[in-house]
């Protein structure tokens, strides 16, 4: 039975109060970043310094709202103001050059603006999440709205189009060689298709079939493939990744940053194993959670657990049977799922990444 101290430390209480206020201010700043991203404010302010009226005119928004947003973004340290002592309507604001890549360049590995929208979206069905805590049920992915699937896709896009082919897959010699010659790839849980597009752009002889259950994501994925000019080799299908009726034989079957979200990961892995046939490779890329739970967690676990509580665990508990994996899928958990799905071993590939761990599953 656990024990806890009953002694109250006033300094500790005061420090916790200050910490909560800082967290609240930080959350409000993220909401403001989401507004600026959606309205095109950062793109406008990256080009030149603007007054509130000029920003409003450029973006076709309201001057009074723009002015309040500019002041909020300044006091939270996102924007700079050139003439702070001027009248409110005359002040000129600008996005610092060092922040442009973070907020305005969607294929930069430093692009983080979508995180604001994603964090906003996971709070959308909060009452439903609270109800799920009471009942043990789930919350459908669609309940999180457009901002959620847009945010997930935008967060993953830079890595998938710039690193997946030339760095990650290129570091697996047999897979790289096969795809260079013109292989077939099944991309399970592909969302907006940026992983499928990333493979097709780096391996011009390879064809990719993407699979995702979310209708809005599938539509957007096929639009993205067409816009990038790879729709002759990338096709995204609306199918349950665990559907045993999915047919085909592929040289590479991959599931990137999605397995922890599905209700029945073993069924998905069984499908992946079957689609890979006797000679195909199976690759799972998922969150780089620690090997085991510790009170401190690793450097990304506070973020992972937040997503798990608000989104991934509720979404992954909608259908039955539900494994209830959550975002913090540790290596031992994946190994257990893989073993149940018929794989003989799981190899952790030596690819360094802050957010992802790379698993190759062997028959």
CATH number, domain containing residue 222: 3.40.50.150
The pLDDT-based confidence of 184 (bands split at 50, 70, 90) is very high
End position of a domain, from candidates 69, 104, 139: 104
How far apart (Å, rounded) are the C-alpha atoms in residues 166 and 161?
9
As given in the structure block, the two tokens for residue 274 are 């079957």
Average pLDDT, the chain: 96
The pLDDT-based confidence of 242 (bands split at 50, 70, 90) is confident
What was the pLDDT predicted at 243? 82
C-alpha angle 331-138-247 in degrees, rounded to nearest 5: 65
Instruction: From 171, 182, 167, 363, select the one nearest 280 (Cα to Cα).
Output: 363
Question: What is the b/e burial string over 194-231, where b = at least 16 CB atoms within 10 angstroms of the residue's CB?
Answer: bbbbbbbbbbeebbbbbbbbbebbbebbbebbeebebb
CB under 8 Å, gap of 24 or more: what pairs does 97-103 form?
97/46, 100/42, 100/46, 103/33, 103/36, 103/37, 103/42, 103/46
Do 241 and 183 belong together in one domain? yes
Residue pointed to by tokens 């930069």? 108
What number is the average pLDDT over the span 249-275?
Answer: 97
As given in the structure block, the two tokens for residue 207 are 């064809």
Do 97 and 127 belong together in one domain? no
Tell me, rounded to whole angstroms, the distance of Cα 344 from its chain centroid: 29
**82 inside domain:** yes
What number is the average pLDDT over the span 67-75?
Answer: 98
pLDDT cut 90: percent of the chain above it = 95
Do 74 and 100 belong together in one domain? yes
Do 305 and 212 belong together in one domain? yes
What was the pLDDT predicted at 4? 56
Do 128 and 26 belong together in one domain? no
Do 87 and 188 belong together in one domain? no
Do 298 and 232 belong together in one domain? yes
Do 211 and 263 belong together in one domain? yes
**114 inside domain:** no
Residue 228 exposure: Cα atoms within 13 Å on the Cβ side: 25
Do 204 and 349 belong together in one domain? yes
Do 75 and 143 belong together in one domain? no
Instruction: From 167, 320, 185, 158, select the one nearest 249 (Cα to Cα).
Output: 185
Do 267 and 354 belong together in one domain? yes
What number is the average pLDDT over the span 125-134?
Answer: 98
**5 inside domain:** no
Full residue range of the structural domain in which residue 97 is found: 10-104
**183 inside domain:** yes
CATH number at residue 71: 1.10.10.10
Whether 120 has a pLDDT exceeding 80, the answer reads yes
Are 241 and 189 within 8 A, CB to CB?
yes
Strands (DSSP E) contained in 121-206 are: 184-188
**311 inside domain:** yes
Whether 47 has a pLDDT exceeding 60, the answer reads yes
Are 220 and 232 within 8 A, CB to CB?
no
**3 inside domain:** no
Do 71 and 150 belong together in one domain? no
Domain count, the chain: 2
Element (H, E) at 361: strand 356-362
């Amino acid at each position: 039975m656990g024990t806890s101290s009953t002694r109250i430390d006033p300094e500790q209480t005061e420090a916790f109060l200050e910490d909560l206020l800082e967290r609240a201010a930080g959350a409000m700043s993220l909401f403001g970043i989401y507004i600026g991203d959606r309205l095109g404010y950062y793109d406008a302010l990256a080009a030149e310094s603007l007054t509130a009226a000029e920003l409003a005119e450029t973006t076709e928004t309201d001057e009074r709202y723009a002015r309040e947003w500019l002041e909020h973004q300044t006091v939270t340290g996102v924007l700079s103001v050139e003439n702070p002592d001027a009248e409110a309507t005359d002040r000129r604001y600008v996005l610092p050059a060092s922040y442009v890549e973070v907020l305005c360049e969607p294929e930069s590995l430093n692009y983080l603006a979508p995180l604001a929208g994603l964090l906003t979206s996971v709070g959308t069905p909060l009452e439903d999440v609270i109800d799920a805590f009471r009942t043990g049920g789930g919350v459908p992915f669609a309940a999180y709205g457009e901002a959620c699937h847009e945010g997930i896709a935008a967060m993953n896009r830079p890595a998938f189009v710039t690193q997946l082919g030339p760095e990650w897959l290129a570091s697996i010699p047999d897979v790289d060689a096969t795809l260079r010659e013109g292989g077939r790839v099944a991309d399970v849980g592909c969302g907006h298709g940026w992983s499928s597009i990333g493979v097709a752009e780096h391996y011009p002889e390879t064809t990719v079939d993407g699979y995702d259950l979310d209708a809005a994501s599938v539509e957007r994925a096929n639009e993205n493939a067409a816009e990038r000019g790879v729709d002759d080799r990338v096709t995204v299908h609306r199918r349950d990744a665990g559907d045993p009726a999915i047919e085909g034989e592929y040289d590479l079957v991959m599931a990137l940053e999605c397995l922890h979200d599905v209700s029945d990961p073993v069924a998905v892995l069984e499908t992946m194993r079957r689609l890979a046939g006797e000679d195909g490779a199976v690759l799972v890329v998922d969150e780089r959670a620690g090997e085991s739970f510790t009170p401190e967690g690793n450097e990304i676990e506070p973020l992972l657990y937040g997503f798990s509580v608000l989104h991934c665990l509720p979404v992954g508990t909608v259908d039955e049977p539900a494994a209830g994996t959550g975002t913090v899928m540790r290596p031992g958990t994946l190994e257990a799922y893989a073993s149940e799905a018929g794989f003989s071993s799981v190899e952790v590939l030596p690819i360094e990444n802050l957010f992802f761990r790379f698993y190759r599953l062997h028959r």
